[in-house]
């Protein structure tokens, strides 16, 4: 049996949605998730087949740069996206930096298709990352502060875009740096 050292672990799955707005009637317009090989898969979601998906915010469009016309022309059907998500992420724990929003859009996507449910579980990326940092610190607040500092560094290195693929790339990079930080700490503490 081969034991993985922290620096060689594969990243967990990460997921992010973009939406038509932040209103209660909003709907998902783009989803992206990380793949075990390190890649990122991303798809626009067409609202054409879902009658209730009429919410649209010009302000949100200015942020993410995705027009409703583009969704209608290039987006995949919600049913196709649901099947693809379930094929790719079945049985996995998938992390997001905004589970309260992404969970709503994930549920809306699946309920709009057939009332089904995702074959994976959504969890908080912050809880995962703070938990990873915990061995380095005496108290939880120090782990939270360390994660905030790492987030600032990553945001400076990655040009920020309000797109699902960018957000997933950002989460993978956060995990990578937290993992390196933990590996360095464990190496020093053993020495």
Task: For residue 121, give the nearest of 90, 87, 83, 88 by alpha carbon.
Answer: 90
How high is the pLDDT of residue 100? Answer: 95
What pTM did the predictor assign? 0.89
CA distance 100 to 127: 13
Q: Domain residues of the chain, as ranges?
A: 6-190
Higher pLDDT, 17 or 137: 17
How high is the pLDDT of residue 107? Answer: 95
Predicted confidence (pLDDT) per residue in 95-153, tens digit: 999 999 999 999 999 999 877 899 999 999 999 999 999 888 888 999 999 999 999 99
- At residue 20, φ and ψ (nearest 5 deg) are -65, -25
Task: For residue 97, give the nearest of 182, 177, 23, 168 by alpha carbon.
Answer: 168
Would you state the structure tokens that stand for residue 171, as one six-digit string? 């989460």
Domain 6-190 CATH class label: alpha beta
Q: Is it the case that residue 14 has pLDDT exceeding 80? A: yes
Q: Is it the case that residue 7 has pLDDT exceeding 70? A: no
| Dihedral sign computed on CA atoms, order 117, 118, 124, 127 | positive
Q: Helix (H, G, I), strand (E, B), or coil: what is residue 27? A: coil
Q: Is it the case that residue 1 has pLDDT exceeding 50? A: no
Percentage of the chain with pLDDT > 90?
A: 77
Higher pLDDT, 187 or 10: 10
């Amino acid at each position: 049996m081969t034991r993985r050292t922290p620096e060689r672990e594969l990243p967990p799955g990460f997921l992010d949605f973009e939406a038509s707005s932040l209103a209660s009637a909003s709907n998902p317009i783009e989803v992206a998730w990380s793949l075990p090989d390190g890649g990122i898969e991303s798809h626009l979601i067409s609202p054409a087949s879902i009658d209730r998906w009429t919410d649209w915010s010009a302000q949100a469009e200015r942020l993410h740069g995705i027009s409703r016309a583009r969704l209608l022309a290039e987006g995949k059907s919600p049913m196709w996206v649901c099947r693809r998500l379930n094929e790719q992420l079945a049985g996995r724990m998938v992390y997001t930096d905004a589970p309260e929003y992404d969970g709503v859009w994930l549920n809306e996507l699946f309920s709009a298709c057939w009332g089904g449910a995702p074959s994976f579980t959504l969890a908080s990326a912050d809880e995962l990352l703070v938990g990873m940092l915990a061995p380095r610190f005496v108290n939880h607040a120090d782990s939270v502060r360390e994660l905030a500092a790492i987030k600032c560094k990553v945001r400076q290195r990655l040009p920020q875009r309000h797109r699902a693929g960018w957000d997933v790339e950002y989460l993978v990079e956060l995990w990578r740096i937290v993992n390196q930080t933990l590996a360095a700490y464990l190496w020093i503490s053993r020495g």
